[in-house]
Homo-oligomer: A and B are copies of this chain.
Amino acid sequence: MSERPLLTQLIDALRCLPGVGPKSAQRIAFHLLERDREGGVRLAHVMADAMTRIRRCNHCRTLTEQDLCALCANPNRDGQVLCVVEQPSEILAIEQATDFRGRYFVLGGRLSPLDGIGPRELGLDQLDERLEGRAVREIILAISPTVEGSATAHLIAESAARYGVNLTRIAHGVPLGGELESIDGGTLALAFKGRQQV
């Protein structure tokens, strides 16, 4: 038995991309092979590198290949204001849409004890350490207003109260159930400006 043709292997492997079915996988494979091999080679190398080297920032838990991500390493960001998000992708959305110049903390999910996601999995002990240092003046919650999101927010509110940190959350305007990264920039900017005291 000979190995399956490389073209078939490529089409199959492309199915791991979100939203890519058999037809799109074929279209992508032929596009790369016939029109953009250089782009395909570059993508393959960057992808292999990214999959093996990218991990969580020691400080804010976002995705980075460094010990400290670019935002945490940037001395011009205001460490007194900390925006708490669920996912790393939301940092990109906020950076692109708002003029927020503080720092971030990434939970990586929502409280969900039945799935084994408790305070520790969300890094809340690590967040407490940052608050303990008394450097943070305000926490801005940018967490989706779901049941699990609210439970998470409640735990963070307790920490904030314990350390005397001001707690706000971004204004509604973010539609219920909507994903932060798919909201238009204007709405997201307004939500940041209109944040209210919790």
Give residues in A with beta carbon < 8 Å to B: 5-7, 9-10, 13-14, 16-18, 23, 26-34, 36-37, 39-54, 63-66, 69-70, 87-89, 92, 181-182
Interface pair A5/B44, CB less than 8 Å apart: no
Chain B residues positioned under 8 Å from A18 (CB to CB):
27-28, 31
Interface pair B50/A36, CB less than 8 Å apart: no
| This chain's copy number in the assembly | 2
Interface pair B54/A181, CB less than 8 Å apart: no
Interface pair A10/B50, CB less than 8 Å apart: yes
Chain B residues positioned under 8 Å from A69 (CB to CB):
5
Q: Quote the shortest CB–CB distance from A39 to chain B (angstroms).
A: 3
Q: Sorted from nearest, which 10 A-B pairs have the closest CB atoms?
A: A16-B39, A44-B48, A44-B47, A13-B43, A40-B51, A13-B46, A10-B50, A6-B65, A18-B31, A30-B89
Interface pair A13/B70, CB less than 8 Å apart: no
Chain B residues positioned under 8 Å from A87 (CB to CB):
30, 34
Interface pair A5/B65, CB less than 8 Å apart: yes
Q: How far is the CA of A47 from the CA of B44 in the complex (A)?
A: 6
Interface pair A7/B40, CB less than 8 Å apart: no
Chain B residues positioned under 8 Å from A48 (CB to CB):
41, 44-45, 48
Chain B residues positioned under 8 Å from A39 (CB to CB):
13, 16
Interface pair B36/A6, CB less than 8 Å apart: no
